[in-house]
Amino acid sequence: MKFGVVVFPGSNCDRDVVTVTRGLLGQPTRMIWHTETDLSDCEVVVLPGGFSYGDYLRCGAIARFSPVMQAIREHVRQGRLLIGICNGFQVLTEAGLLPGALVRNRNLQFVCDRLSLRVERNDLPWTRGYRQGEVIAVPVAHGEGCYYAEEATLQELEEHRQVVLRYCNQEGEIDEASNPNGSLGNIAGICNRAGNVLGMMPHPERVSDPLLGGGTDGRRLFESLVESLAVV
Ligand SMILES: NC(=O)CC[C@H](N)C(=O)O
CATH number at residue 171: 3.40.50.880
pLDDT tens for 44-91 read 999 999 999 999 999 999 999 999 999 999 999 999 999 999 999 999
Which of 42, 59, 86, 146 is flagged as catalytic? 86
Can you give the pLDDT at residue 58?
96
Instruction: Provide the ipTM.
Output: 0.96
Q: Over pLDDT 70: what percentage of the chain?
A: 100
Taking the whole predicted model, whether its pTM rises above 0.80 is answered as yes
Q: Does any ligand 1 atom lie closer than 6 A to the CB of residue 50?
A: yes
Q: What are the contacts of 126-133 at 24+ separation with CB within 8 A?
A: 126/81, 126/83, 126/164, 126/191, 126/198, 126/221, 126/224, 126/225, 127/164, 127/221, 127/224, 128/224, 128/227, 128/228, 129/220, 129/221, 129/223, 129/224, 129/227, 130/220, 130/224, 133/172
State the closest ligand 1 atom to the C-alpha of 48, by its place in the atom list counted from 1. Answer: 3
Probe residue for ligand 1, chosen from 15, 46, 52, 90 as the CB with the greatest number of ligand atoms within 8 Å: 90
Residue 130's contacts (CB-CB under 8 Å, 6 or more residues apart) are: 119, 122, 136, 220, 224
Cβ(8)–Cβ(44) below 8 Å: no
Could you tell me the residue range of the domain that residue 11 belongs to? 3-231
What average pLDDT score do residues 5-28 get?
Answer: 98
When divided into structural domains, the chain yields a total of 1
User: What are 136-169's pLDDT values in tens digits?
Assistant: 999 999 999 999 999 999 999 999 999 999 999 9
Q: What is the DSSP letter of 194?
A: T
- 94, 120, 144, 205: which one is catalytic? 205
Whether the pLDDT of residue 232 is over 70: the answer is: no
- The yes-or-no verdict on residue 218 having pLDDT over 80 is yes
User: What confidence category does residue 231 fall into, taking pLDDT thresholds of 50, 70 and 90?
Assistant: confident
Task: Give the model's pLDDT for residue 102.
Answer: 98
DSSP characters over 41-108: T-SEEEE--B-GGGG-SSTTTTGGGSTHHHHHHHHHHTT-EEEEETHHHHHHHHTTSSSSEEE--TTS
Query: Is the pLDDT assigned to residue 94 strictly greater than 80?
Result: yes
Q: What is the largest CA-CA distance in the chain?
A: 45
* Cα-based torsion angle of the residue sequence 159, 189, 177, 118 in order, rounded to the nearest 10 degrees: 80
Instruction: Report pLDDT for 96.
Output: 98
pLDDT at 1 over 90: no
> What is the residue type of 120?
E
- Catalytic residue check, 203: yes
* Mean pLDDT computed over every residue of the chain: 97
Quote the ligand 1 centre to 30 CA distance (angstroms).
22
Average pLDDT over residues 183-202: 98
Give me the torsion for CA of 126, 128, 132, 137, rounded to 10°.
-60
Query: Whose alpha carbon is nearest atom 7 of ligand 1?
Result: 51
Euclidean distance between the first and the last CA atom of the chain, given in angstroms as a whole number: 15
| Average pLDDT, integer, range 133-138 | 98
